[in-house]
Structure 1
């Protein structure tokens, strides 16, 4: 049995790797082709081209790379068609993945197409589900409230849980060992800074993050900062943070054990919007979310928004306890007080919301990667 998989960013790469591991457990004869990152490559995928080429987000950010992305779309579709795969499985990154699926369906309507990560039609642009149903047969949903939106549009859909719930939770000893390894005193206030995994995010968020930490350092002179980042962005991050008043400990592409220990060791996180909020919640790390984007992209998204929060912990727990600062609010003088409040012991409400989130996402149940694999095979 053979599958052609496509992931376009680090979070999708991790989803793809968990799915591949599940498929190998259920079908030892399985083969993989497609596009992915280091996690999927570790499970046996030889990527058609570097996944980093696809890690762009937002209308304004995509336009300069449109021609190159269009060539990669055609290349991926041709490779999928020539692969002899039983199914095309696209993972998140809908701007790229669904265009590949459309080309594949146009040429070979009988080829099964599946998409891992339901579009957030409950948040904005509800018409996307109907449009997706033209080229996708089956959806693997990460959130428990998503399947009805997909089936209403004409696709089959299973809630398979979120892979974050199967990640190990770092112990107190592992958290302290992380601090010791990085030369961070046990009593030092520690913030993990997470400005995203795309160059555009880094460029927009690093200045605001640095200014925020400068304000915090005035109240917390012993403040320490760690900053995990993908390997291909290490040089960019090093250059961008040189002027920070609190020099960050940069962690290049930390493995899972280091990443979970880092999150557990931190007293609070300053993070970009995205899946990382769930990763922090899994380790019980309270957070403040800050995000900015091109003005046109922000204007378009706000016009189409159907929700009042972008943070997944807030959405899944049906609370609004994680503070977020988006667009014009992504400014140090607004972010710093919220982060300082967490560092001074105000994380209680978030702790409860994080626990509820993990339970609803499937913590304690069968691993999501295995559930996703079973859903794929059942659909075939």
Structure 2
């Protein structure tokens, strides 16, 4: 009998993680059947769609509040569907505020549950370790220090490898990436990655474009490339008034974010999965992040943030490997100044890339197959 797996992904990064996990499960169980709330990458692997990933893609505390009624209805409907459908295992991929509540109800109904990606309990809201333990039979962690956070809960939490580190085993060749993207072989290139969600593009897009203008004034031959996740993101970015005011070209491409990073001397990115990709591609990077003033005020007032850094490469390295510019510090002037320092110092670029290489190697001690093995063990090796 085929193994039936349901997956719930909540954003573009979850789509990528889900696709890697699906491939690993299929390698070990070719007869596995998937149904999912999925994005394009998961659908490309092969699954029956029970919803689209964009239904869950909401950023920030105040933004989530606006969508709570719809999200509650969606979660209730999904719980009812999955309990009736009874897959062999339900896997919530990231999106903890949505998925943990769903997993808890599913688990109570006797269906094994997995949560893939530990919430950042080591950074903020440490009390969530109990919430995760109540929701999941198995927690798959992306970083080797995370299972220790759950030691006292009784939850089986395993370092299942970092899928990105297993997938990106070495940087792409810069010249080949530039040729693929139609960029000049010589000269300097900056990649702009303002994020995949509309709220990110609306906040960071104008800042990044103004930064590009300042850099172009300082480096007249500088080239820029911006990868967009899809047609919707492209439309959001192209509708910005700062885009319409440009008097020099910026190459926009669909997807190909890693190729864009590989082609770049410097990457300017929103905080998120892209920072890990940039680190694994060994590209010197700057990180910017902005949320709504209400969200930021709540985080600051309640003292929710417990770590010095936001970008995961910096957390792992315990240093500002990628300079961070958050909220009011994310200005075109500051970003352009920091980017210029990197563009003008090739030795600094080489040193940063070398440090990134050492950090990346520490994450390649396991891979998606480890996660698949743990899931199959939970499912009882169903034949």
Give TM-score, length-normalised by structure 1: 0.93
| Cα distance in 1 between the residues matched to 2:249 and 2:202 | 17
CA offsets 1:277-312 (integer angstroms, 9 cap, x no match): 111111111100011110121122332111111111
Pairwise CA distance, 1:313: 1.0
Question: Aligned residue for 2:259?
Answer: 261
CA offsets 1:324-375 (integer angstroms, 9 cap, x no match): 000111111111111111111232442233112211211xx45x22111011
Question: For residues 135-284 of structure 1, what are the structure 2 equivalents within 5 Å?
Answer: 135-168=135-168, 169-172=170-173, 175-231=174-230, 232-240=232-240, 241-254=243-256, 259-284=257-282
SS where residue 47 of structure 1 aligns?
strand
Gap change, CA 1:171 and 1:149, over 3 Å in 2:
closer
Pairwise CA distance, 1:245: 4.7
Question: Aligned residue for 2:4?
Answer: 2
Question: Aligned residue for 2:374?
Answer: 375
Question: For residues 101-120 of structure 1, what are the structure 2 equivalents within 5 Å?
Answer: 101-106=103-108, 108=109, 110-120=110-120
> What is the aligned residue count?
369
| Cα distance in 2 between the residues matched to 1:271 and 1:149 | 29
Pairwise CA distance, 1:152: 2.4
Conserved 8 A contact 1:268-1:339: yes
Q: Could you list the runs of 5+ residues in structure 1 that have no partner in the other structure?
A: none
Conserved 8 A contact 1:133-1:153: yes
CA offsets 1:232-273 (integer angstroms, 9 cap, x no match): 31111122222345432111133xxxx433211110100000
| Cα distance in 2 between the residues matched to 1:248 and 1:96 | 37
Tell me which stretches of 4 or more aligned residues in structure 1 moved more than 4 Å. Answer: none
Pairwise CA distance, 1:18: 0.8
Question: For residues 358-369 of structure 1, what are the structure 2 equivalents within 5 Å?
Answer: 358-362=360-364, 365-366=365-366, 368-369=367-368
* Pairwise CA RMSD: 1.6
Gap change, CA 1:244 and 1:150, over 3 Å in 2:
farther
CA offsets 1:92-118 (integer angstroms, 9 cap, x no match): 011111121133234x0x221110001
| Cα distance in 1 between the residues matched to 2:362 and 2:119 | 19
Pairwise CA distance, 1:78: 1.8
Q: Could you list the runs of 5+ residues in structure 2 that have no partner in the other structure?
A: none
